[in-house]
Amino acid sequence: MAASNDEVVSLLTTAYCMELETVMNYLANSVNLDGVRAEEIKKSLAADITEELSHATMLGQRIKQLGGTLPGSAGVEVGAQIQPPNDTTDVVAVIKAVIDAEESACAHYKKIIKATDGEDYVTQDLCIRLLADEEEHLVLFRGFLKEYAKA
C-alpha cells in the first residue's frame, strides 16, 4: 500500500534533514582534515558539498510541491550521522563516516521509492536519481577505504 501524501512529505523532510547534515559534516571534514594523505579526501568532500546541497534543494522543492513546508534551522533534525573526529589526521574515520552516511541515505531513498511505488511517480523518479548519486559516492569512498586499508 502506498504512503499517504503526509507520509511522503515526512519521508522527504527526513531526507532533506539528512542531506543538510551531510553538507555540514562534509564541510567540517573538508576543512578540518590535516596531512598529506588527507588531500584527496578533502577535495572529494568539498566537491560533494555542492551535490548534497543540490539534493536538499530538489527535496525541498518536491516537499513544497506536495503542500509541505521546509523546516528552518530549529526544525532540522540532525545528529544521526557519525561526527567529524577530534583527531584531524584520522582520515580512515572520516572515510568510514562518509560510507555510513551514504549507506543511510541509500536505505532512506529506497524506503521512499518503495513508499511511492505506483502512486507518486515524480517523487519516486527524484529519489531514484538521488539514490544513483549516493551509490556513486558510496562506491568512491569504499574504494578510498580499500586503499587506506593497504597503507
Q: How many CB atoms lie within 10 A of CB 86?
A: 8
Global confidence as pTM = 0.95
Residue 1 scores a pLDDT above 90 = no
For the chain, how long is the longest CA-to-CA vector? 52
Residue 151 scores a pLDDT above 70 = no
Secondary structure letter of residue 71 according to DSSP: -
Enumerate the domain spans of the chain.
5-68+85-150
Instruction: With cut-offs at 50, 70 and 90, classify the pLDDT of residue 149.
Output: confident
Assigned CATH class of 5-68+85-150: mainly alpha
Q: What is the mean pLDDT of residues 29-43?
A: 95
Amino acid type, 7: E
Q: What is the mean pLDDT of residues 105-118?
A: 97
Task: Tell me the C-alpha distance between 61 and 68, whole Å.
Answer: 9
Residue 114 scores a pLDDT above 80 = yes
107-145 in b/e form (b: 16+ CB < 10 A) is: ebbeebbebbeeebeebbebbeebbebbeebbebbeebe
Residue 33 scores a pLDDT above 90 = yes
Q: What is the mean pLDDT of residues 6-23?
A: 97
